[in-house]
């Protein structure tokens, strides 16, 4: 059974930032409870240079959110752009086709 859970967060508005911060804060608690190590391997937002309450790790930032699916080994993708069509729909459909939990 896989020991790591690779996570990507697409959309860094209020919900995406909150989720990212909670995952970072509670990594150890999640590992204790599940025996699985949480690893955030990809994040994406419309504006990379927007001021946020945390610094963006440029190594895991993708300007094109579809690249996260193509170039990484994501297990769970959190889509927090929140649109029902357009890029949001394409991200979700692509993730599901690649057997990624959304």
pTM above 0.85, yes or no: yes
Is residue 20 within 8 A of residue 9, CB to CB? The reply is yes
Binning pLDDT at 50, 70 and 90, where does residue 95 land?
very high
The pLDDT value recorded for residue 72 is 87
Q: Of the candidates 27, 11, 29, which has an alpha carbon nearest to the alpha carbon of residue 77?
A: 11
The pLDDT value recorded for residue 49 is 76
């Amino acid at each position: 059974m896989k020991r790591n859970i690779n996570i990507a967060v697409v959309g860094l508005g209020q919900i995406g930032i909150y989720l990212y911060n909670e995952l970072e804060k509670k990594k150890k608690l999640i590992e204790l409870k599940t025996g699985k190590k949480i690893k955030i391997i990809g994040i994406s937002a419309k504006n990379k240079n927007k001021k946020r309450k945390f610094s963006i790790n440029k190594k895991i930032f993708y300007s094109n959110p579809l690249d996260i699916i193509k170039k990484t080994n994501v297990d769970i993708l959190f889509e927090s752009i929140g649109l029902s069509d357009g890029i949001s729909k394409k991200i979700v459909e692509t993730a599901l086709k690649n057997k990624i939990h959304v």
